[in-house]
């Protein structure tokens, strides 16, 4: 290719997240949206001329295999002369998720009275609020704040920082957000500035817990990633939760819940509930207090 090129995929909600995560590190931009309520998702990705289609095909094959799907057909075509900023804005309408009101920076006018506004442009970082896993996590944050506002929270795999911003909007005073991808962290930092929550939220690059400035004592931890890294990180995530604290896990399919629950219940955590949305599960656990059960 001598100019930017694109692909378009029409897939189910489960494949949309898996393919989006697979492509976000190599695509110049990704836009995805539900074509109809409860219907398939359309994923549009644009790549630089030097990115080879076989590289994208390999990434999508691996992502498809990880969720038990057939590899999608990749048809590359030149990028037409379209205002892609305006096109992306049209595909990202405001969303009401519990008390949260998620909107792009292009949306004008005040947020609904009493809502917790989150303003962001996800860009190349995953997390615009449209996906079931993000919705499940935001609802879990709202529920936790109703019980007792956490004092220290961790958002591992923060992407656009939508969940970290949500924690700040729920009045959590100290939030640590981390992602393995430097571009995602850059987008997250810009979204923190846009929402004026930089005094509450710190963001950093870290592969799991390897480079986190803090690793223990969080009374609320959320990790919206995928099942395989959640399994690998089970001991570290469990240790990060303070006694009596809450752990929220998402990015897993309904069929993967059993193995995730087994891994985390073996870490002095008690399973306390799930949110099931369009085939994706968000799980909640509580860290046991030694000799005292749960609080």
CA-to-CA distance for 183 and 180, rounded, in angstroms? Answer: 9
Average pLDDT taken over every residue of the chain? 89
Question: Which CATH number belongs to the domain containing residue 261 in this structure?
Answer: 3.40.50.150
More confident residue, 288 or 37: 288
pLDDT over 70 (residue 292)? no
- What is the predicted pLDDT for the residue at 35? 80
CA-to-CA distance for 140 and 148, rounded, in angstroms? Answer: 12
Same domain, 39 and 67: yes
Instruction: Report phi then psi at 42, rounded to 5.
Output: -105, 130
Of 61, 90, 119, the residue at which a domain comes to its end is 90
Structural domain span for residue 168: 95-287
Kindly indicate the confidence band of residue 151, based on its pLDDT and cuts at 50, 70 and 90. Answer: very high
Q: Is residue 295 part of a domain?
A: no
Same domain, 139 and 245: yes
Instruction: Report phi then psi at 277, rounded to 5.
Output: -135, 115
CA-to-CA distance for 56 and 190, rounded, in angstroms? Answer: 28
CB 46 within 8 A of CB 78: no
Strands (E), 171-240: 174-179, 201-205, 218-224
| Rg of the chain taking only CA atoms, in angstroms | 19
Q: Is residue 294 part of a domain?
A: no
CA-to-CA distance for 55 and 148, rounded, in angstroms? Answer: 47
Instruction: Tell me how far CA of residue 152 lies from CA of 65, 142, 186, 243, in angstroms.
Output: 37, 15, 22, 13
- What is the predicted pLDDT for the residue at 1? 62
pLDDT over 80 (residue 129)? no
pLDDT over 60 (residue 80)? yes
Q: pLDDT tens across 234-289, in order?
A: 999 999 999 999 999 999 999 999 999 999 999 989 999 999 998 899 999 999 87
pLDDT over 70 (residue 81)? no
Same domain, 248 and 114: yes
Of 90, 111, 132, the residue at which a domain comes to its end is 90
Same domain, 124 and 15: no
Question: Stretch 94-120: mean pLDDT, rounded?
Answer: 89
Q: Is residue 171 part of a domain?
A: yes
- What is the predicted pLDDT for the residue at 295? 41
Alpha helices of 67-127 — where are they, by DSSP H?
A: 84-90
**Nearest partner of 166 among 148, 139, 185, judged by Cα:** 139
Instruction: Tell me how far CA of residue 293 lies from CA of 184, 246, 268, 270, 283, in angstroms.
Output: 38, 14, 10, 9, 19
Same domain, 135 and 196: yes
CB 56 within 8 A of CB 23: yes
pLDDT over 70 (residue 12)? yes
- What is the predicted pLDDT for the residue at 93? 77
Q: How many CB atoms lie within 10 A of CB 71?
A: 13
Count up the domains in the chain and report the number.
2
pLDDT > 70: what percent of the chain? 90
Is the entire prediction scored with pTM above 0.75?
A: no
Kindly indicate the confidence band of residue 90, based on its pLDDT and cuts at 50, 70 and 90. Answer: low
Same domain, 113 and 13: no
Q: Given the DSSP bridges, would you call strands 41-47 and 29-34 parallel, antiparallel or unpaired?
A: antiparallel
Q: Strand order of the sheet with strand 174-179?
A: 201-205, 174-179, 152-156, 218-224, 241-253, 280-287, 269-277
Of 36, 67, 90, the residue at which a domain comes to its end is 90
Q: pLDDT tens across 192-217, in order?
A: 999 999 999 999 999 999 999 999 99
pLDDT over 60 (residue 186)? yes
């Amino acid at each position: 290719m001598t100019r930017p090129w694109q692909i378009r995929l029409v897939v189910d909600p489960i494949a949309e997240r898996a393919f989006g995560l697979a492509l976000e590190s190599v695509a110049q931009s990704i836009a995805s949206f539900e074509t109809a309520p409860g219907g398939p998702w359309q994923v549009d990705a644009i790549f630089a001329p030097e990115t080879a289609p076989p590289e994208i095909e390999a990434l999508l094959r691996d992502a498809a295999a990880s969720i038990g799907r057939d590899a999608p057909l990749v048809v590359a075509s030149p990028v037409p002369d379209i205002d892609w900023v305006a096109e992306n804005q049209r595909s990202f309408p405001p969303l009401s998720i519990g008390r949260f009101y998620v909107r792009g920076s292009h949306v004008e006018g005040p947020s609904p009275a009493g809502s917790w506004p989150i303003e962001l442009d996800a860009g190349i970082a995953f997390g615009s609020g449209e996906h079931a896993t993000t919705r499940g996590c935001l609802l879990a944050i709202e529920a936790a704040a109703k019980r007792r506002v956490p004092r220290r929270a961790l958002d591992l795999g923060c992407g656009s920082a939508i969940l970290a911003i949500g924690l700040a909007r729920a009045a959590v005073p100290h939030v640590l957000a981390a992602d393995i991808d430097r571009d995602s962290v850059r987008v997250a930092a810009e979204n923190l500035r846009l929402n004026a929550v930089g005094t509450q939220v710190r963001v950093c690059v870290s592969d799991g817990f390897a480079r986190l400035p803090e690793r223990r004592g969080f009374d609320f931890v959320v990790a919206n990633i995928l099942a395989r890294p959640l399994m690998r990180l089970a001991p570290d995530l469990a240790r990060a939760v303070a006694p009596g604290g809450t752990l929220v896990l998402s990015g897993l399919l309904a069929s993967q819940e059993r193995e995730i629950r087994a891994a985390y219940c073996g870490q002095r955590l008690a399973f306390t509930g799930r949110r099931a949305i369009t085939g994706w599960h968000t799980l909640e656990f509580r860290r046991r207090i030694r000799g005292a059960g749960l609080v």
